Amino acid sequence: MLIVNDEHRLRAGIKSLSKRCSYCSKPLKEYPLIMNDDAGFHVFHAACAAALAIDIQVDLCMFFNPPALCPPLFVLTPPDEAGLCEKKE
C-alpha cells in the first residue's frame, strides 16, 4: 500500500510518523511510505522498499541462475619422482 499523506497513514493504522522503518530502522518522518500486505505489519520508506525489492530479485536470480565456477588458481599435482631423485655418484 502506498501512503502519501496523513489521511492514508491514519487509514493504514499508523498513528504517528515516529514508527521506525522495518528495513533501515530510521523514523518514518516523510512521505511517501510503503506498507506491506503480508501477515506482519511492516512500513518502509519508498527508497527502502525499492532496495528490499531489488535485494530479493538479485537473491532469486542468483538462486535460479548460479554463476559459473571459476577455474582454480592453483593446481596441486604430485611431484614427478624421476625428476626429484637424481642419483649422485
The tens-digit pLDDT sequence of the chain (89 residues) is 899 999 998 988 888 888 899 999 999 888 999 998 777 788 999 999 999 999 999 999 999 988 888 887 887 777 776 555 555 55
The answer to whether position 11 is within a domain reads yes
Q: How many domains does the chain have?
A: 1
Of 53, 56, 15, the residue nearest 34 (C-alpha): 53
The answer to whether position 73 is within a domain reads no
Separation between Cα atoms, residue 76 and residue 26, nearest integer Å? 51
Domain range for 32 is: 2-64
The cell numbers describing 11, all together, are 487509514
The answer to whether position 77 is within a domain reads no
The answer to whether position 80 is within a domain reads no
The answer to whether position 81 is within a domain reads no
The answer to whether position 78 is within a domain reads no
DSSP lists the bridge partners of residue 3 as 33
Output the pTM of the full model: 0.65
The answer to whether position 41 is within a domain reads yes
